[in-house]
Amino acid sequence: MKKLLLSLLTLSSFASFAQWAYTTNNTSNDCTTAFGKALASDVTTSGLFTSPDDGATWASSNTGIPSSGVTFGTLSGSSLYAYNNNTVFVSTTGNNWTAQTGVTAGQIIKSMTTINGSVIASASPNSPVSFKIFQLNGSSWALKSSPTNSAIVSVIRNLNGTLFAGTTNSSVIKSTDGGMTFAGASTGMPTENINKIINSLGATSTVLFSGTLGGKICRSTDAGATWSTVYNIGDNNGFYGINDFYIYSSTQIFAATDSGFVYSLNSGVNWSRYNVGLNFSNYENLMKHITVSGNYIVAGVNTSGGARIVRLPISQIITGAGLNEKSLSNLENKVYPNPASQTAQIEVSDLQFESNCEVKLFDGLGREVGKFPMTSGKAQLNLENNAKGIYTFNVFNNNKTVSRGKLVIN
């Protein structure tokens, strides 16, 4: 019989690094920041929520918003716009919303942005493959253009004064006349069909970014004339899309992806992941939207049980151990099964070293109770001689800790 160990594990055991943590919002996956607070929506069923404390707690804020939820559009001046199907809502506080005269019936809004002082929306019908640009005039919307491009626009953004759009079939297009006409702008973009679907766009003052459904981040330093792939988190099968960008500074860029949180600290040249605290077995790595509120990165994820909002202290990425793009103390790891009984496997992503790697297991008193070799980023743990309880483990490379985590034996 295995004896039950009394765990003395406390939060201080993990004081050296912060983790993604749950908030009280367990229905949303869309998020943004406006009016000094975070806002969230699940887009489908539970409406909209606001948080005055950087995402820690949330309250319903559905005045004027249908219970079927909304998608956040764009912040223009002192007004935040959101949409549902072909109806646009506007608020100057985030708490009270007013519906505006919608775009043409049969057109479904896909994305919104602001350019040249005007709020615009891209909309498409269910069929055929086409899109229209609508412009806000006062409190109602008018058709601005019907471009001839055979495309559905999935995302539209003002990138440094030029209108760029990501499509679902022809990569990136752009307009130099405020949305009247569009031309191809995808030279250098990946050519696989799945990577021609663009989920996200973003820009610093000098660099443009696009994210594909196939999991590639592309970068342009010449205003979209040419692009290069700088990061590939997927395998070109559509399971690892780049879903959202948040530009924190000219050098610090955050991205929400279907493989979790990805960030760059050098203007998008190099990228790393940080998913500590996310439960991969619960699909919490399916990160859909991302924003920053106060001292926290706030993100919406899809889990096996539905959507929810998580957050991470921004100091972990900007001033903490994540400051160095090649920092090894926080490499992402995956443990399965967890809890475990007989055996468990630990995998460490991005582990680039193949020699002198091992995993050490510690009990609740901090005593080393097991040592296991790691090859190609994987270690198989034999737990038959370990008592039930909560354990910690460290992954070592050349006697330096590169990752750590928690394992429950039952």
- CA nearest to 316, candidates 336, 339, 347, 292: 292
For the ranges 137-141, 179-183, 226-230, 400-404, the lowest mean pLDDT is seen at 400-404
Contact 308, 49 (CB under 8 A): no
Q: Which CATH number fits domain 330-409: 2.60.40.1220, 2.60.40.1840, 3.20.20.70, 3.40.50.2300?
A: 2.60.40.1220
- The mean pLDDT value for 159-185 works out to 96
How many CB atoms are located within 10 Å of the residue 361 CB? Answer: 21
Q: What is the pTM of this model?
A: 0.75
Which residue's entry shows tokens 């489908």?
A: 44
CB-neighbour burial class of residue 319 (10 A; exposed 0-12, middle 13-18, buried 19+): exposed
The per-residue pLDDT for range 144-156, each reduced to its tens digit, is 999 999 999 999 9
Radius of gyration of the chain (CA): 23
| Alpha carbons 74 and 82: distance in angstroms, whole number | 7
| Alpha carbons 287 and 311: distance in angstroms, whole number | 11
- The mean pLDDT value for 27-41 works out to 93
Contact 130, 144 (CB under 8 A): no
Residues in Cβ contact with 138 at an 8 Å cutoff, skipping those fewer than 6 apart: none
How many CB atoms are located within 10 Å of the residue 135 CB? Answer: 17
- The mean pLDDT value for 78-106 works out to 89
Check whether 329 has a pLDDT greater than 70: no
Contact 211, 229 (CB under 8 A): no
- The mean pLDDT value for 378-403 works out to 83
The per-residue pLDDT for range 254-269, each reduced to its tens digit, is 999 999 999 999 999 9
Phi, psi at 11, each rounded to 5° = -65, -25
Give 190 or 2, the one with higher predicted confidence: 190
Domain locations along the chain: 17-323, 330-409
| Alpha carbons 371 and 247: distance in angstroms, whole number | 42
pLDDT score, position 183: 97
Give 321 or 309, the one with higher predicted confidence: 309
pLDDT score, position 232: 94
The per-residue pLDDT for range 354-389, each reduced to its tens digit, is 557 889 898 766 677 888 998 878 899 999 888 888
Residues in Cβ contact with 36 at an 8 Å cutoff, skipping those fewer than 6 apart: none
The per-residue pLDDT for range 302-311, each reduced to its tens digit, is 998 889 999 9
Contact 88, 81 (CB under 8 A): yes
For the ranges 82-86, 101-105, 275-279, 343-347, the lowest mean pLDDT is seen at 101-105
Contact 207, 245 (CB under 8 A): no
Q: Which CATH number fits domain 17-323: 3.10.20.600, 2.130.10.10, 2.40.50.100, 1.10.540.10?
A: 2.130.10.10
Phi, psi at 13, each rounded to 5° = -65, -25
What is the percent of the chain where pLDDT is above 90?
59
Q: Which ranges of 253-381 would DSSP assign to H, the alpha helix?
A: 315-318
pLDDT score, position 43: 72
Q: What SS3 state is found at 314?
A: coil
pLDDT score, position 368: 78
Of 32-46, 178-192, 375-389, the range with the highest mean pLDDT is 178-192
- The mean pLDDT value for 288-297 works out to 94
Q: Where are the beta strands (DSSP E) in 92-241?
A: 98-100, 108-115, 118-124, 132-137, 140-145, 153-159, 162-167, 172-175, 183-184, 198-203, 208-212, 216-220, 228-232
For the ranges 116-120, 187-191, 262-266, 325-329, the lowest mean pLDDT is seen at 325-329
Residues in Cβ contact with 402 at an 8 Å cutoff, skipping those fewer than 6 apart: 328, 329, 331, 348, 351, 395, 396
